Amino acid sequence: MPNTDISWTYIADQINRKKCTPVISNQLILSSLYPAENVAIEWAKSADYPLADSDNIALVAQYLSVTYRDTYRAKTEYLQFLKQRYLAAAEQDTSINATVLDQVRRERGLSLSQLAGERLGYPPAGEQANPLNLLAAFDMPIYLTTTPHLFLEIALRNLGKRPRTEVYAWHQALEDVIPPEYKVDPDFQPTPDEPLVYHLHGLDEYPDSLVLTEEDHLDFLGNVIHDFREIGKMPNAVRNAISSSILILLGYNIRSWEMRVILQELIRDQPRRPRSVAIQLDPHDMPDILDTDRFQEYMQMYLAQDKYRFDVYWGDALSFLKQLWETWQGT
């Protein structure tokens, strides 16, 4: 289905007006970081997950949380699994210095962001095939994300920008977990050179902060409804961006927990927000979709409802960003 409803020039103009806000999924980060495998499915295999929906990280995490009777253990094992998979892939990457890799293996307590990003240089500076590098190159003051990893911040710093990271405390106990430098600074005014990267689902350095299990998503849902409307719980710049700028949803699957919560509680019923764009993978690449044409038609009708007001781009995030970049460069 052609993407005839996308107004590229209009979106580019809104970027110039600082009225365009990307919303970046964790799946986009994982797909870029592990291009050769589906991390969710591999983690499910390693955990002996017994059900068919092994591509759903929230359900796999919920299963382990119940099995262990320990949510924290499930989260730390997930993060450890990600590090192990990245190190295994790094061993096959001839561009990574073997001595550096050996030193990294010996370090203890590194988060995935520290290991892959700070130590091993992900994302590689200047690599235009990486969507994070393209995202960082746009003049955008605010980035919203549901990934717990800090690779976007690294891409921004690679371009000489000075991003500020803030984290949403989605349950009260996180007030004691998240250090002061990641909490809301009411005096901070984001700009394209000093953008705000706002993490809704925690940071990988603090496993307790992750929104990972199915129950985590339900708790997050219950709290974000209240906190979005209460002054001081979220940065005013974030609240204004959600309610009055074009949003670009990148990497979200309409059937995922991430997408449901973003749509239902942060995005819907914002009458001042312009029509926005949701990037969805071509359903022809989804084997569980029985009738792709009807699915596409339904998705476009669903997201076009007045309470959402999204046009749909059918394709991958990198292709969308490349076309938007070309248009923006011409404005």
Share of the chain above pLDDT 70, in %: 96
Share of the chain above pLDDT 90, in %: 65
Q: CA 51 to CA 64: how far, in whole Å?
A: 12
Q: Let me know the angle formed at the C-alpha of 13 by 10 and 17, rounded to the nearest 5 degrees.
A: 135
CB atoms within 10 A of CB 189: 11
Q: CA 75 to CA 83: how far, in whole Å?
A: 13
Instruction: Name the residue ranges covered by the structural domains of the chain.
Output: 8-34+127-329, 39-119
Nearest to 313 by CA among 60, 240, 174, 304: 304
pLDDT in tens, 72-101: 999 999 999 999 999 999 998 888 888 999
Q: CA 4 to CA 2: how far, in whole Å?
A: 6
136 pLDDT band, cuts 50/70/90, is very high
Task: Please report the beta strands in 152-245, taking only residues with DSSP state E, as ranges in sequence order.
Answer: 164-167, 196-199
* Confidence at residue 89, expressed as pLDDT on a 0 to 100 scale: 92
Span 133-159, mean pLDDT? 97
The DSSP bridge partners found for residue 24 are 145, 250
284 pLDDT band, cuts 50/70/90, is low
Is residue 1's pLDDT more than 60?
no
Judging by beta carbons within 10 Å of its beta carbon (0-12, 13-18, 19+), is residue 157 exposed, middle or buried? middle
**Coil, strand or helix: which one is 314?**
strand
Is residue 2's pLDDT more than 60?
no
* Confidence at residue 305, expressed as pLDDT on a 0 to 100 scale: 87
Helices (H), the chain: 8-16, 26-33, 39-46, 57-68, 71-90, 98-106, 112, 131-137, 151-158, 214-229, 236-244, 257-261, 292-303, 317-329
Task: For residue 249, report the phi and psi dihedrals to the nearest 5 degrees.
Answer: -85, 120
* Confidence at residue 212, expressed as pLDDT on a 0 to 100 scale: 97
* Confidence at residue 248, expressed as pLDDT on a 0 to 100 scale: 93
pLDDT in tens, 242-256: 888 999 999 887 777
- Whole-number average pLDDT of the chain: 90
Question: What tokens appear for 144 in the block?
Answer: 């919203």
Is residue 214's pLDDT more than 90?
yes
Span 149-165, mean pLDDT? 98
